[in-house]
Amino acid sequence: MNDIGPPYVGRSMLRREDHRLLTGQGMFLADLALPGMLHAVLVRSPVAHARIRAVDLTTAASAPGVLLALNGAEVLQLLPPVPEGQLSMPRKWTTLVQHKFLNPQQPLLAHDKVRHVGEAMAVIVATTRHQADDAAELVRWELEELPVVVDPEAALREDGPIVHERFETNQVGSFSIGRGDADAALARAPHRLQRRFHHHRYTAMPMECRGVAAAFDTRAGLLTIWSSTQVVHWVRREVANMLRLPEAQVRCIAPDVGGGFGGKGHVYPEDVLIGFLARRLGRPVRWLEDRREHLMSATHSRDQWHDVDVGFDGNGRILALRDDYIVDCGAWNPIGSGVAYNTAVHMCGPYKIENFAASGRIAVTNKVPNAPYRGAGRPEAAFVMERVMDLVARELGLEPAEVRRRNMIRADEMPYRVGIPYRDGEPVVYDSGDFPGALEKALNALGGLPAFRNRQRDARAQGRYLGFGIGCYTEGTGVGPFESAFVRIDPSGKIYVASGACPQGQGMETIFAQIAADMWQVAPEDVVVALADTSAIAIGFGTMASRSTVTLSAAMHHASERLRFKVFSIAANLLECAEADLELRNGGVGIVGVPGATLSLARIAQAARPGWDNERPVGMDAGLEETFYWQPPTVTWSYAVHAAIVEVDVDTGRVRLEDYAVAHDCGVVVNPMLVEGQIIGGAVQGIGGVLSEAIAYDAGGQLLSGSLMDYALPFAADMPDIRIVHQHSPSPLNPLGVKGVGEGGAVAPPAAIANAVCDALAESGIEVNATPVRGEKLVEAMRKH
């Protein structure tokens, strides 16, 4: 397999202006210009919780340029709500895990109540965006404000305000899992500690906000939707279902998407609503979100509270751990239990914990809905477990790295059965890896702990406070249920690959061109990759959860194996030899050991055309194409160890990140440059999440971080060079031995940096058990000590 391929993008071969319009490839939604296109603006609630008495559109509907104005009550008569729990658990999981879930369904526009600031109540469609904006200012509403709940613990009290009255509770989900007997082991443990941890709310914040455009061809009855989504086939399915159209009459395309990170990984009301408006008006309609709208309507993430009880012996070995936690899912729950359960199933990380129990509760509040963002429940789990490791070390006077060594699963214990079910219903089994080896590599990348401790002592004598922190995690990647691949040999001899995967800047076209080129022994520039378009392949799943390289490469492998059988059969017929004597080479098929006896793939494709039956084996159908839907047996397990060195200014509380290293294992590395880009990009998001980014609400549910002046993204100048060390433990669960890498970089930084800050301030006994790590909080804590 080629390690590093050229910066080739397969679909760039097809970019012509007409192709850009038809497919959206090579453009962003903001660039899309369709003849006669109208513009939609959503009128959003200014309050967090209120009963809707009226939404008056009379004046707005008669404003210049307005073609249509609808409120929620009107839309309710025409369209059903968006399904909640779009990533529902498989039936096998439901038989293994004790659980209870309720299913609030979000209407396309609020009609009875508004449940968070920014929830849409009406839509205006006008000739220009400015006209639509002006008309939106003319909408009048009567809202009867209701008590607001923004604290998930308050939401779960019996006397708290109810967000969804039909359930008579704000607890919309609960489950529990475990292995061994955690309570008995805790009771027997020589040492025991309890802590509360909070991982705060923040969000994906892609460069490109959300957007949807749609056009309806009345002659063909075809509705085409362009959406900045990670899941084009999901969008098509839900739009077809809600508009009562056959899926064959709905096409969804994701143009070049400026970042997704999970925030665009499910179907939003706007995906359906804009398609409906285009069909109703018979003209193209586009909606583009601005940054403030994005912060008050695109999903947020994290926001978990954990109460942990851990028992351990005098050597620092964990004997038992119990974690009872609450997930604040906001006003709606579009993904169901996926994030909450991810936290529980990743809690043990790389450690042997024989007695473990976790119970999770999902609470609705008057905030923006919560859904996956890079890591999706794993950063919360890693923060809890890695802080526990450091707290145990402090309690016993041990080096935190040593406590980890004593608890880690060894390489010779792989594959290792954790003893709880993954969210696909299969047992969690770490398929391969060397966790202690990764720990040593991360420590050595920063010069080793002994050298740092000497430097730390010298700095302390000078009044400087340096700290070293570690964050470890495991990550289930390549989750099912399936992914699709369509492979065709074009008459030109080029390899055409299509799939339901949806890129958002990860370099998928490059990676899959490399993989296809290796499979077919052609140059990467002879591969055309078509992604994120439902017309390219009938069934697909989408891109999320660090899954695309694992699932799509396997689907490509199996489709290519089937197709290669047919290619070899035709070649053997033409060359008058046995199929076993053939090999792929140099863009064709040749006889092994006979350099001149080669047929190009173009020549074989010619023989596969209808009318050339005499060149094919008797009874073989025409065509050279295969589709395969690969269903992984279960997930592959990536893992990493992050190590951070920080300096804390004790006067201001400012945390400066001095150095950072990642030892990572994602199995076989297809393209090191792109893998390192994923790890570094994720790490920067995790660093921003722990040090600066935060979604803030006041007690009335008003969003306090509604712009990039208030939501503090990290600056490039704040980031050190991030050192990457690779380990390679191929997975036995797929043909290429690959594991996922997209999310992992964002998982460990909050834990590693919090631990480093605590290490820097160890003399004061300060504990950082809640994020974000803010200077003013550190100064306040130091004053108390």
Is the pLDDT at 450 greater than 90? The verdict is: yes
First vs last C-alpha separation in the chain: 57
Q: How far apart are CA 738 and CA 345, in angstroms?
A: 21
Amino acid at 35: P
**Alpha-helix runs per DSSP H in 462-507:** none
Q: What is the DSSP string of 247-292?
A: GGGEEEE--S-S--TTTTSS--HHHHHHHHHHHHHTS-EEEE--HH
Residue 97 has pLDDT above 80, yes or no: yes
pLDDT at position 91, please?
79
The DSSP-derived string for 631-698 is: --SS-EEEEEEEEEEEEE-TTT--EEEEEEEEEEE-BS-S-HHHHHHHHHHHHHHHHHHHHT----B-
**pLDDT score of 6:** 26
**440-468 b/e (C-beta count within 10 Å ≥ 16 → b):** bbbbebbeebeebeeebeeeeeeeebbbb
pLDDT tens string 691-737: 999 999 999 999 999 999 999 999 999 899 999 999 999 999 999 99
Residues 6+ apart with CB under 8 A from 346: 377, 378, 381, 382, 473, 474, 475, 476
pLDDT digits (tens, 9 = 90+) for 519-567: 999 999 999 999 999 999 999 999 898 899 999 999 999 999 999 999 9
Three-class secondary structure of residue 303 per DSSP: strand
Most distant CA atoms of the chain, gap in Å: 89
Closest CA to 756 of 632, 660, 675: 660
Residue 86: its pLDDT value, please? Answer: 54
| pLDDT score for 3 | 30
How does pLDDT run across 206-235, given as a tens digit for each residue? 999 999 999 999 999 999 999 999 999 999
CA distance 73 to 75: 6
**Pairing verdict, β 427-430 and 416-421:** antiparallel
Structure confidence at residue 756 as a pLDDT band (50, 70, 90): very high
Q: Looking at residue 216, what DSSP letter applies?
A: E
- Give the pLDDT band of residue 2 (cuts 50, 70, 90): very low
pLDDT tens-digit series, residues 498-520: 999 999 989 999 999 999 999 99
Render pLDDT for 169-182 as a digit per residue (tens, 0 to 9): 999 999 999 999 99
Beta bridge partners of 582: 591
> Quick one: which of 220, 218, 251 has its CA closest to 235?
251
Q: What tokens does 575 get? A: 């060359």
Q: Has residue 106 got a pLDDT over 50?
A: yes
Is the CB of residue 360 less than 8 Å from the CB of residue 344?
yes
Phi, psi of 247 (to 5 degrees): -60, -30
Grouping H, G, I as helix, E, B as strand and the rest as coil, residue 759 is helix
653, 777 contact by CB (below 8 A): yes
The DSSP H or E segment spanning 681 is helix 672-691
How much of the chain exceeds pLDDT 90, in percent?
A: 89
Cα–Cα distance, 248 to 242 (Å, whole number):
14
Residue 497 has pLDDT above 80, yes or no: yes
Q: Is the peptide bond before 415 cis (omega within 30 degrees of 0)?
A: yes
pLDDT at 692: 95
CA distance 594 to 588: 13
What's the mean pLDDT when you consider all of the chain? 93
In the predicted structure, residue 633 carries a pLDDT above the cut 80? yes
- Measured distance CA(359)–CA(584) in Å, rounded: 54
Higher pLDDT among residues 611 and 318, named by residue: 318
| Residue 548 · residue 483 · CB < 8 Å | yes
Are 419 and 428 contacting, i.e. CB atoms less than 8 angstroms apart? Answer: yes
CB contact set of 154 (below 8 Å; sequence gap of 6+): 160
Pairing, β 655-665 against β 527-531? unpaired
**714: preceding bond cis by omega (within 30 degrees):** no
What's the whole-number mean pLDDT along residues 478-489?
95
Question: Which two tokens mark 475?
Answer: 């990550």
Measured from the Cβ of residue 576, the count of other Cβ atoms closer than 10 Å reads 6
371-430 pLDDT, tens digit each: 999 999 999 999 999 999 999 999 999 999 999 999 999 999 999 999 999 999 999 999
**Gap between the Cα atoms of 281 and 39, Å rounded:** 12
User: How much is the average pLDDT of 578-604?
Assistant: 95
Dihedral sign of CA atoms 327, 328, 334, 339 in order = negative
Q: Is-cis flag, bond preceding 481, omega within 30?
A: yes
How far from chain centre, in Å, is Cα 647? 31
Quick: pLDDT tens for 337-371.
Answer: 889 999 999 999 999 999 999 999 999 999 999 99
CB 60 within 8 A of CB 125: no
CA distance 527 to 414: 37
Element holding 310 (H helix, E strand): strand 301-312
Q: Which amino acid is at 589?
A: V
DSSP annotation of 136 reads H
Residue 22, pLDDT above cutoff 60 = no
| Type of residue at 628 | F
Distance of alpha carbon 751 from alpha carbon 387, whole angstroms:
7
- Before 436, cis peptide (omega within 30)? no
* CB distance 271 to 225 below 8 Å: yes
- Residue 85: per-residue pLDDT: 55
For residue 436, give Cα distances in angstroms to 358, 470, 753.
25, 13, 20
Name the pLDDT band for 264 (thresholds 50, 70, 90): very high
Q: Judge whether residue 128 has pLDDT over 80.
A: yes
81: helix, strand or coil = coil
Task: Quick: pLDDT tens for 312-327.
Answer: 999 999 999 999 999 9
Query: Can you read off the two tokens belonging to residue 466?
Result: 């340096």
Whole-number Å distance between alpha carbons of 690 and 712: 11
Is the pLDDT score of 775 beyond 70? yes
Report yes or no: 531 and 458 within 8 Å, Cβ to Cβ.
no
Confidence at residue 160, expressed as pLDDT on a 0 to 100 scale: 87
Percent of the chain with pLDDT over 70: 96
pLDDT at position 783, please?
87
* Kind of pairing between the strands at 50-56 and 140-145: antiparallel
Global pTM?
0.94
Say if residues 329 and 172 touch (Cβ distance below 8 Å): yes
Cβ neighbours, 10 Å, residue 412: 6
Give the least confident one: 102-106, 494-498, 724-728: 102-106
